[in-house]
Structure 1
C-alpha cells in the first residue's frame, strides 16, 4: 500500500506553510521516520529545501498541468519506501486557474484526488475570534477536502491564542498548536522566492531550529496520526487528549504504515511508476548548478523510464555538454546572478556552439537567455552569451511574468511534432529587448484563447520562457 499522506494548506500565501512543512519534515526525519516530500504546484525552490530536510528527493504535483493518472503515478512513486508523505500547498488552498487537465491547479485538488487530509496553518495577525469564521469557510468550501485541524501562526500572546483557538475549536475543529511570532526562524529570500537551498548558509542548523520550533509549539504526534487514521477511516484524532493517553503516538520503533522498500508502491488503479512517454532524445545532457537549477526531477525520471539516458553537467564549472549526447537541455535558474562567470566560461560557451552543429539545444527561461546574444544584469552591465538565438534580455528593466501556459509547438521538435500541446508555466522578471526569428511555440495563458508566439527556434536551437511540466 502507499504511505499515508498529509497536505499543509492555508487560506492565503505567506501564512507559514513553509515554516510548518519544513519543521515537520525535519522533526519526523530525526525521529527516524522516512518522510516523502511533495510540493503542490509549479515550484523549483521549495523542493530543494524539502530534500535537505528529509534526505529524500520529492516531486511536484500539479492538477492544472498534469492528468490525474500522472499525479497518482508520481505520488505512488515518491511514497515507495516511505512512512509518510508530507505535501506543501501553494498559495491559498483553493487558488488555481481555469482550463486545467485534472483540476484548476489548486492544492485542494491534490488532497481530494489522493485522499490526503489537510492541516490548515492560519495566520491570526490582527484577528481574534474572526479567525474561526475564515477557518469555517475554508473547511466547508469543498466537500471533497477534509480539513483535519488547524495550527495558528504569529500568535501574539496567550490571550490571543485563546481568543482564536477556542473559537476554532467551538466549530469542532481541533487546534494542533500555536506558533508565536518569531522572525528568527525565517529563511532568506530574493526576487523569485527563497534563496536556493544550496546557497543558504547554515541550512542544516536552520532546519534543526525550525524542527525545534515546531516540536515546542505543535503536537506533532497527533498531526502524524491524522494521516495514518485518514488512510483507513474518516476519524480525526482528538488533539485535546494528553500525549500519554494517546493511542497513536509515533516513535522510530513504531513507524507509520511502513511500505516495503523492496518493491514500488502501487497506484490505486494497479499501475506502478511514472507513465512513460517517448523521450525527446536517447542521450540527454542537462545543465545543473546554481545558475541552472530549475528542472523538474519527474521529467528526467519519465525520460529514463522511457529508455533515455540523462547526464548532468555544470556550466559554472566551465563544463561543456557531453559530445555524445543528442539533446542538450538548459533549464531555468539564476543566470542573471552569474552572468559574468557564464560569459567568461568559454569552455561551456564554445561547447554549446559545437553542440549546435550536430545535436539539438533547448533552453527554458534562464537557459533561453543564455542561448541569446546578450544578457544585461540588474546593474545594467551587458554580458555576451552564446549567440545562437537572436535574443537580448535585461534585468535592469524588470517586469514580472507569471502564470500557467499551454504551448503548441510551432514546428517539429524533439518534444513532439508540429501542433503538439505542452502544459507548463512562466515565472520570470526579465525584459526582452530584442527577439527575432521563428517562434518555438504558440502559447496562451489560462484565461485566454489568444495564442501568441513564444520563444525562438532555428537550426536545431530553440528556447522560450515556458517551463515544461507535462
Structure 2
C-alpha cells in the first residue's frame, strides 16, 4: 500500500511546490516510485511533478469533479511507493458554494482520501504564533488529520528553537526546519507562473532542493507519518468526450495550458492527438477533424503570431470545414486582435470577432460553470461544463453569438460567455470536467 500525504500550508507562497518536488526527488533517489497529484486548478505544477518523479501528474478538484472521477484519477498511484498530493492556496481555502463534491479546498481531498497533511509553515516575522496557526489548522475540521509541519525560511537557530518549543507544547510534530536558501526557490514570471519546460536547469534545481531538504528534514519521520492508502476501485471513470477522433493540438510556449487528465481522457477514448507549433509557423494537421488551441502566453508572442502567415491562413482554411476551439489564450488568438502590454495591437486569426487588451491589466480568476447554448467540439447544447479562468486580459469587443451562459462559483452570471462563429468556438475558461 502506498504511503500517502498531502502537502499544504496556511497560505499561498509558503513553499508547498518546492517541498513537494524536493520530497519527491529525495525519495526517488532512495529508489522509491513516487506519484504526485495537484489539488485544484493549476496547469503548471503537474509538469514540475513529472520532472521530479518521472511519472505523469494530474489535477484532482473537488469543485469540478465527483468522487468517482477523483478515485479514478488517484488510482494511478496504486503501484507507487509514495503518493504526494500538493495543495493549492491555504489548506481550507475554497469557494463559498459547494461544487460537485466540495469547495475546491485541499482539505476536501485530504478528508475524502484519508491522507494525512504535512503543513509547510513560514514563521517569518513571528515565533510562537506559528504554533497557534498550526494548532488552529489541526483542529479546524475533524476529518482532516495533521501529520506534522516543516518550517520554511527560518531566520536563525534561536528562531527555530522558539518555534519548535511552541509546536512541541501544542503536540505538533516538527519534521524539520529549512533556513533561508533563495537558490532553491522556483522563479516567478508573467502571471506568477513558470512552466517546467521553460526551465533548462529544472533537473538541477530539483536536485538541489532535494539535497537541501534531506539535510534539514527527517525524511524517515515524514514517511512514517504517512497514511497507508489502499486504493478503492473507481465506480466511474472520466466523463470526457474527446472533441474529435484526430485532434490537431497547438503545443508550444504560447499554447501549453491544458490539463493532463483531459489529454489522457481523449487518448483513452480512442482519440489521436497531433501537436503542432503556431510559433514556428506550423499548420494544423490537414487530416485532423478538429483543431484545439489551449491557453498559454499568446500576449508575450503576439507579434510573432501575427507575423506567422502560414499558421494564420492554414487555420482559417481548416475552420472553413472543421471545428476549431480555443481556450483562454487560444480564444484570444482566434479573435480579431490582441493589444499587448505596450498598447500595440496585433492582428490575430480573425475566426472570431473578439478583441482583447493587456494594456490595462485586470485579473479574472475563479471557477466557472458554463451551460452551453450552442455546440462546441465534444459537447452538445445544454451540457454543463466546469472549468477555471485565470487571465489579465480585458475584453474590448465580444460581438459573436454567445457560446454559453457562464456562472462563477457563487452562481453569478459573468460577461465572459465565450463565442461562436461558423465552425469556430472559444471560451475564457479551461475545461476540467463535464457534469454527469
Structure 1 residue 124 displacement after superposition: 0.5
Structure 1 residue 302 displacement after superposition: 1.3
Whether the 8 Å contact between 1:371 and 1:388 is mirrored in structure 2 is: yes
Map 1:199-348; keep pairs closer than 5 Å.
199-227=198-226, 230-231=227-228, 267-269=231-233, 271=235, 274-348=237-311
Separation (CA, whole Å) in 1 of partners of 2:244 and 2:212: 47
Q: TM-score with structure 1 length normalisation?
A: 0.88
Q: TM-score with structure 2 length normalisation?
A: 0.95
- 1:270–1:200 Cα change, 3 Å: closer
Structure 1 residue 173 displacement after superposition: 1.7
- Indicate whether 1:85 and 2:83 are aligned: yes
- 1:372–1:270 Cα change, 3 Å: closer
SS at match of 2:52: helix
| Structure 2: runs of 5 or more not aligned | none
- Could you tell me which residue of structure 2 aligns to residue 422 of structure 1? 385
Whether the 8 Å contact between 1:405 and 1:423 is mirrored in structure 2 is: yes
- Indicate whether 1:377 and 2:340 are aligned: yes
- CA RMSD after TM alignment: 1.7
Structure 1 residue 37 displacement after superposition: 1.5
Whether the 8 Å contact between 1:115 and 1:231 is mirrored in structure 2 is: no
Whether the 8 Å contact between 2:4 and 2:83 is mirrored in structure 1 is: yes
Whether the 8 Å contact between 1:276 and 1:306 is mirrored in structure 2 is: no
Separation (CA, whole Å) in 1 of partners of 2:29 and 2:359: 44
Q: 1:318-365: per-residue Cα shift (whole Å, max 9, x none)? A: 221112111111000011111122222222112211110111000000
- Could you tell me which residue of structure 1 aligns to residue 355 of structure 2? 392
Structure 1 residue 450 displacement after superposition: 3.2
- Could you tell me which residue of structure 1 aligns to residue 370 of structure 2? 407
- Could you tell me which residue of structure 1 aligns to residue 15 of structure 2? 16
Whether the 8 Å contact between 1:276 and 1:305 is mirrored in structure 2 is: no
Map 1:37-56; keep pairs closer than 5 Å.
37-56=36-55
- Could you tell me which residue of structure 2 aligns to residue 360 of structure 1? 323
SS at match of 1:222: helix
Separation (CA, whole Å) in 2 of partners of 1:312 and 1:213: 38
Whether the 8 Å contact between 2:279 and 2:308 is mirrored in structure 1 is: yes
Number of aligned positions between the proteins: 432
Separation (CA, whole Å) in 2 of partners of 1:377 and 1:450: 27
- Could you tell me which residue of structure 1 aligns to residue 139 of structure 2? 140
Map 1:106-255; keep pairs closer than 5 Å.
106-227=105-226, 230-231=227-228
Deviates more, 1:212-221 or 1:89-98: 212-221
Deviates more, 1:362-371 or 1:169-178: 169-178
Separation (CA, whole Å) in 2 of partners of 1:270 and 1:53: 27
SS at match of 1:417: coil
Structure 1 residue 292 displacement after superposition: 0.6
SS at match of 2:413: coil
SS at match of 1:64: coil
- Indicate whether 1:436 and 2:399 are aligned: yes
SS at match of 1:436: coil
Structure 1 residue 428 displacement after superposition: 0.1
Whether the 8 Å contact between 2:257 and 2:295 is mirrored in structure 1 is: yes
| Structure 1: runs of 5 or more not aligned | 233-265
Whether the 8 Å contact between 2:38 and 2:57 is mirrored in structure 1 is: yes
SS at match of 1:390: coil
Structure 1 residue 447 displacement after superposition: 1.6
Separation (CA, whole Å) in 2 of partners of 1:68 and 1:298: 15
Structure 1 residue 43 displacement after superposition: 0.5
Q: 1:145-198: per-residue Cα shift (whole Å, max 9, x none)? A: 111001111111111111111111122221000011222221211232232211
Whether the 8 Å contact between 1:376 and 1:396 is mirrored in structure 2 is: yes
Separation (CA, whole Å) in 2 of partners of 1:268 and 1:64: 21
Structure 1 residue 267 displacement after superposition: 5.0
Separation (CA, whole Å) in 1 of partners of 2:240 and 2:261: 12
Separation (CA, whole Å) in 1 of partners of 2:231 and 2:182: 41
Whether the 8 Å contact between 1:440 and 1:453 is mirrored in structure 2 is: no
- Could you tell me which residue of structure 2 aligns to residue 241 of structure 1? none
Whether the 8 Å contact between 2:78 and 2:231 is mirrored in structure 1 is: no
Separation (CA, whole Å) in 1 of partners of 2:81 and 2:353: 50
Separation (CA, whole Å) in 1 of partners of 2:64 and 2:358: 28
- Could you tell me which residue of structure 2 aligns to residue 70 of structure 1? 69
SS at match of 1:21: helix
Structure 1 residue 369 displacement after superposition: 0.5
Separation (CA, whole Å) in 2 of partners of 1:81 and 1:140: 32
